[in-house]
Chains A and B, each alone.
Chain A
Amino acid sequence: MTIRGRTFSFAFVAGITILVAWVLVALLAPGAAPHDPLATVSGAREAPSAEFWFGTDRLGRDVFSRVIHAARVSLVLGFISVAIGAALGSALGLVSGYYRGAIDTVLMRVVDAMLAFPGILLALVVIAALGPSITNVMIAVGVSTIPRYARLVRSTVLTVREEAYIDAARLIGVPDFRIMLRHVLPNTAVPLLVLSTLEFGHAISVGAGLSFLGLGAQPPTPEWGLMTAAGRDVLGRAWWISTFPGLAIFTVVMATNLLGDSLQEMLDPRLKARRE
């Protein structure tokens, strides 16, 4: 697809369209939802109908309204988790890659230790320590992604720090902190953007998983993972309770993956060259 002379892949357009649609849904949720997401508005487990598009849940709440409101929780969870992971991980990677030596060895062993745990396990440990809540899920998911950011930023910094303009900056006496911030960090922006896009979907999916297990959002908060869990006991006779929040998770995660992959293709010169 070509827009103003630039060609965008179908994956990019699809990903960004779906994601923007969800952001709009989240922003407009209070006006767009036909019912109060916490109120019992009808009988329990009513099938989808003209009045209740996605049916009602086991407490007679409108599933459509809850899915819309849950978008706010899940998208905020994605943004904050990514922000935590990206900020802390980048800082670690930056310091580690720039100074190398003992600092690098110590920091990377810490990162290696974190990488030794699967992300979800690390998140579970954090939740176990902090207690179940949506805020703690954001922290847990963010912390679990730190190693990936640290590794990525470090590898980029290792290349950038050897550039002549970094040596020049050092020679004229620019402080290390300023060099890192002004000259090194901007060079990590592209890979960081790609990773953050991919991690955004991953964070939503892990957050929903933790809520599904009862470790994240607590009732009556509308949250996709929690809503999916609430319907699993009656999946055979009230499929809509779990299916629609499940579809919401699926579309957001798919959109971020499409967007992340296409951004990588667009911004990575090697991939771009190979494609051309």
Chain B
Amino acid sequence: MSPPTRLCIIALSLLLLAACGSPNGPGDATDELVIAWPASREPASLDGHIEPYQTAWLIDYMIADPLLIIGPDGGFHPALATGWSSNDVADEWTFTLRRDVVFQDGTPFNAEAVRYNVERILDPATRSGEMAAHVGPVERVEIVDDTTVTLYYEAPWVTVLDAFRRVPIWSPAAAERWGIEAFDRHLVGAGPFLLEEWVPNDRVSVRRWNGYGGWNSISREPGPAKVERVTIRFIGEEAVLGNIVRTGNAHIAMNLPTAYIGDYRGADGFSLLTGYQAGTGLQMVMNVRRPPFNDIRVRQALLYGTDQQALNDLLYDGYYLTADGPLNTVHRCYREGNADYYPHDPETAVRLLELAGYTDRDGDGIREAYGVAGVEDGAPLRVRWTILDREEMGEAVQAQWRPLGVDLVIEIVPGPVQLERVNARDFDLIYERQRSPDPLLMDMLWNSAHDVVGGWAWTGFVDAELDGIVSQLRAIPDQEQRCELAKEAQRVIMDNALMLPTLSEPIFYAVSDEVRGFELASEGQFYFVHNAEVLRE
């Protein structure tokens, strides 16, 4: 064999070997934990002070510890704060901070840093999508000493702990250095990992910070995290996400599609984790400002005409939870009677639509309006279904409503377009989901005072009774009383048929047995990797 031929064979063999291994896969990089997310969960900004979606906060959890966390047991536990207290009326909140913490850039964590973060969130220039609403109307932040800080509120604010368990505490020096626009590429906190890179539409990588002191109470040991690197990969295709752990290209798949659950449940080498998340469920809120949803009979008809259990069985093999009201069934303030409000009853739905003035005179199967105020006679009963994803759910509802004579038009839009539609109040039925174990979200979503641009009350429904009920949720600390208020609010919402409950989505995780120490929080969308490690084979 001539030397060039031999050289070619060696080169080809090396290329072949290189092709067999995946450099980013877990097979040859056991110090790296690879987690696959659906691409739709990629946030627009990694800065949780700005970004309204929880997945940004989940990434922030790796880079910046908050003051406190909700642990797997559902209780509040210390992180950068060692303790907290409030006065009786809950308009003064004091946090005691750890002494031994520095940020990843070497600057100290102290009361001044907390004040900076609170003021940054509330500064209109930050354009906080949601966190400012959670932190609430802080009048001033007082630094008592280096490790004690007190927040004074304009009004009682009982959900401070639930708010601050989400707030990443950033290094003021780094945040100032990079400014609002660029900081999300250079995040600096006091968490177990350093932000390495964010490649939009592809991945986010974080690298172990060896200066981490394990000061989050979730950490089992003091000191740095065990795994060298965590990479979150954004996967666009469900089929790829469903198989990615089985094929060894990721250790964990978050939001595993239900069609793939059978591949992991009870399978050797894998485990399947299920996280439930208290909140609203996958609800579609109705725009009651204009026809057809300004007529309660139409709203009620569509609730009667929807069979949530059939949706669940057909689309998700029954793995989801059916929803029947503004709060999902795993929420502690869920109202039991919601299920009895609008049982699946197509006949009643048809009768209500007829009463509302919608009838099918041209025989095309779709009803037209006759004598409906604000609608031209003969206009078809067409309803837009505006949602970020889950086209299949829209299609299934479309199939359920077609026999009723309702033409459902599905409009899949990205998040920013959804917010544009909301701000212009240009929607019929629009997807709005919030996740929180606290009933305060009822105030956020249903108090007409928040029916403003940037607010989260979208329906246009104004009702003194409902506003009065939900606004008390900001002031009453007693959990039982709060739940009673939330249940009362649910009753009013269901009486007025303001939203269409569909399903509630558990979060399924496929986890390779190579992973140890991966822990779900009490809310399904949150997890901790502080103790995670990948075992070498």
Residues on A lying within 8 angstroms of B by beta carbon are: 38-40, 43-45, 58-61, 214, 218-220, 230, 232-237
CB–CB B394/A232 < 8 A: no
In the assembled complex, 30 residue pairs joining A and B whose CB atoms fall closer than 8 Å, in A order, are A38-B399, A38-B402, A39-B399, A40-B314, A40-B396, A43-B314, A45-B259, A58-B314, A58-B315, A58-B392, A59-B314, A59-B396, A59-B399, A60-B314, A61-B399, A214-B412, A219-B391, A219-B394, A219-B395, A219-B410, A220-B395, A233-B237, A233-B238, A233-B242, A233-B257, A234-B238, A234-B259, A236-B239, A236-B242, A236-B243
**Chain B residues, CB < 8 A from A230:** 392
Q: Could you mark each residue 307-324 of chain B with 1 if its beta carbon is under 8 Å from any beta carbon of chain A, else 0?
A: 000000011000000000
Question: Interface extent on B, as a size class?
Answer: 20 to 34
Known pairs A45-B259, A59-B396, A233-B239 / 9 extra A-B pairs, C-beta < 8 Å: A38-B399, A38-B402, A39-B399, A44-B314, A59-B392, A60-B314, A219-B391, A219-B394, A233-B257
Report the minimal beta-carbon distance from A236 to chain B, rounded to whole angstroms.
6
**Chain B residues, CB < 8 A from A45:** 259
CB–CB A218/B409 < 8 A: yes
B531 located at the interface, meaning its Cβ lies under 8 Å from any Cβ of chain A in the complex: no
Which residues in window 406-428 of B have CB below 8 A to A? 409-410, 412
Which label, helix, strand, loop or mixed, suits the secondary structure of the A interface? loop
**Chain A residues, CB < 8 A from B402:** 38
Report the minimal beta-carbon distance from A116 to chain B, rounded to whole angstroms.
27
Residues on B lying within 8 angstroms of A by beta carbon are: 237-239, 242-243, 257, 259, 314-315, 391-392, 394-396, 398-399, 402, 409-410, 412
**Chain B residues, CB < 8 A from A43:** 314
CB–CB B410/A218 < 8 A: yes
Which one of B239, B392, B394, B409 lies within 8 Å of A235 (CB-CB)? B239
Per the bound structure, the CA–CA distance linking A21 and B392 in Å amounts to 32
Closest 10 CB pairs of A and B: A233-B238, A219-B395, A44-B314, A234-B259, A233-B239, A40-B399, A219-B410, A59-B396, A235-B239, A59-B395
**In chain A, what residue has the closest Cβ to B395?**
A219
**Chain B residues, CB < 8 A from A38:** 399, 402
Report the minimal beta-carbon distance from B262 to chain A, rounded to whole angstroms.
9
**In chain B, what residue has the closest Cβ to A44?**
B314
**Chain A residues, CB < 8 A from B392:** 58-59, 230
Report the minimal beta-carbon distance from A262 to chain B, rounded to whole angstroms.
39
**Chain A residues, CB < 8 A from B391:** 219
Per the bound structure, the CA–CA distance linking A235 and B237 in Å amounts to 11
Report the minimal beta-carbon distance from B317 to chain A, rounded to whole angstroms.
8
**Chain A residues, CB < 8 A from B242:** 233, 236
**Chain A residues, CB < 8 A from B410:** 218-219
Per the bound structure, the CA–CA distance linking A235 and B260 in Å amounts to 11
Per the bound structure, the CA–CA distance linking A82 and B297 in Å amounts to 47
Which one of A44, A220, A232, A235 lies within 8 Å of B398 (CB-CB)? A220
CB–CB A219/B239 < 8 A: no
Report the minimal beta-carbon distance from A175 to chain B, rounded to whole angstroms.
47
**Chain A residues, CB < 8 A from B398:** 219-220
Query: Given A44-B315, A58-B315, A58-B392, A220 and B399 touching (CB < 8 A)?
Result: yes
Which one of B259, B315, B395, B396 lies within 8 Å of A237 (CB-CB)? B259
**Chain B residues, CB < 8 A from A237:** 259
Per the bound structure, the CA–CA distance linking A58 and B396 in Å amounts to 9
**Chain A residues, CB < 8 A from B409:** 218
Give the most central of A45, A218, A233: most B CB within 10 Å: A233
**Chain A residues, CB < 8 A from B238:** 233-234
Report the minimal beta-carbon distance from A59 to chain B, rounded to whole angstroms.
6
CB–CB A233/B259 < 8 A: yes
**Chain B residues, CB < 8 A from A44:** 314-315
CB–CB A234/B399 < 8 A: no
**In chain B, what residue has the closest Cβ to A39?**
B399
**In chain B, what residue has the closest Cβ to A219?**
B395
Give the most central of B242, B259, B402: most A CB within 10 Å: B259
Query: Given A40-B314, A58-B315, A59-B314, A234 and B395 touching (CB < 8 A)?
Result: no
Per the bound structure, the CA–CA distance linking A60 and B399 in Å amounts to 11
**Chain B residues, CB < 8 A from A39:** 399
Per the bound structure, the CA–CA distance linking A66 and B16 in Å amounts to 44
Per the bound structure, the CA–CA distance linking A236 and B237 in Å amounts to 12
Report the minimal beta-carbon distance from A142 to chain B, rounded to whole angstroms.
25
Per the bound structure, the CA–CA distance linking A40 and B412 in Å amounts to 22
Report the minimal beta-carbon distance from B411 to chain A, rounded to whole angstroms.
9
Report the minimal beta-carbon distance from A90 to chain B, rounded to whole angstroms.
37
Per the bound structure, the CA–CA distance linking A58 and B316 in Å amounts to 10
Per the bound structure, the CA–CA distance linking A219 and B412 in Å amounts to 11
Report the minimal beta-carbon distance from A234 to chain B, rounded to whole angstroms.
5
**In chain A, what residue has the closest Cβ to B257?**
A233
Per the bound structure, the CA–CA distance linking A170 and B396 in Å amounts to 65
CB–CB A232/B237 < 8 A: yes
**Chain A residues, CB < 8 A from B399:** 38-40, 59, 61, 220
